[in-house]
Amino acid sequence: MYSKAEKRFLRINFISILSLFLLILAGGIVRSSGSGMGCPDWPKCFDQYIPPTDISQLPKDYQEKYVTERLAKNERFAKLLDKAGYKDLAFKIRNDESIKVPEEFNPVKTYTEYINRLIGALTGIFLVLTCFYAWGIRKARGRVFWISLANILLVVFQAWLGSIVVSTNLVAWIITIHMLVAILILAVSIYTYHDIKSLRNESLLTKKAGWLVKFVSLLTVIISIVQITIGTEVREAVDAVQDFFPELKREEWLDEVGRIFVYHRDIALLVVLLNTLLYFLLRRKVIQKEVMNTAYFVGLLIALQIVTGLALSNFALAPWAQATHVLFATVLFGAQFYLLLIFKNKQDFIK
């Protein structure tokens, strides 16, 4: 039986994980709707906690004001890159003319980005509470507290990175890092959840998974991370095509993206093959019900990924498919990572 402190931790940790998925969905909606610069400043939106609904509520020189602020923040970031030895990147940021182009006020885009930030703030609160409740179970699992605390530091870094994403006007490589840090935060939350749940849940402790199952399971996680990274780069390439070829129709964008889209499509096939192999390996063993249920869930997510991927490639990058495609990719990673954790041998089950 779980103690009250353990139950509280598991409950708030599970809510945090759900909130992270919701935040990733919100980020996908922001990206697909082009609302990333709906709020030109950070953490406030148009220097307000509740953003305006009409352009009349803004000063006449609001565009110049936020461009100036962005340039100042980018100069600070460029100096940091210089000190870290990334002088080429610093040079690109200093000389990116797109940063100097002011954003037109659009209330729909503003509130789309604003809601995304609210979900982000709420998720941060849940993660702080997770760390707080981890302190109460430190005698059972001291490492969970320290890992949860490290996750808070990751969240702070992610928030800072989010401000850089805004100030650099959605510079491509920073968006990729932003996504990968989100995956890392999610992985840490799933790890701490499993670590406490497996303390007193014998069904999560398996020694029947051989080395091949564990190896294939690890490969599925690694390939999913690679696929998410390349998928982010495909989206960045689409943005570049829009900028360089404004005359192209939406359904023509993918034709100009290049080989990065081909890599993304080919790796999707590898994801299907590896997970199919893992499923048949599990069927050959006497594996716990929860493991097989998670495997079935992985199969469902892959099917949904295929559907949304086909919708993107055949229906002119349909915005609804963009956001759901990203969501299903991260949920798939979460399920695969959870399976990998289950397959680790455990010796510390407590009655």
| 124-140 pLDDT per residue, tens | 999 999 999 999 998 88
C-beta neighbour count of 111 within 10 angstroms? 19
Same domain, 192 and 209: no
Look at residue 322 and tell me whether its pLDDT is greater than 50. yes
| pLDDT at site 349 | 44
Residue-by-residue DSSP string for 64-106: HHHHHHHHHHHHHHHHHHHHHT-HHHHHHHHT-GGGGSPPPP-
Same domain, 244 and 112: no
- Per the model's pLDDT, the better-predicted residue between 311 and 210 turns out to be 311
Look at residue 206 and tell me whether its pLDDT is greater than 90. no
pLDDT tens digits for range 140-190: 888 999 999 999 999 999 888 877 776 676 566 777 888 899 999 999 999
pLDDT tens digits for range 263-286: 888 899 999 999 999 998 888 875
The percentage of the chain sitting over the pLDDT mark of 90, rounded to a whole number, equals 39
Same domain, 239 and 331: yes
Same domain, 10 and 159: yes
Domain boundary among 179, 200, 221: 200
| pLDDT at site 210 | 77
* Lookup result for tokens 């014998």: 202
Q: How far apart are CA 190 and CA 210, in angstroms?
A: 23
DSSP secondary structure code for residue 48 in this structure: B
Looking at the whole model, is its pTM more than 0.85?
A: yes
Domain range for 37 is 1-200
Same domain, 225 and 157: no
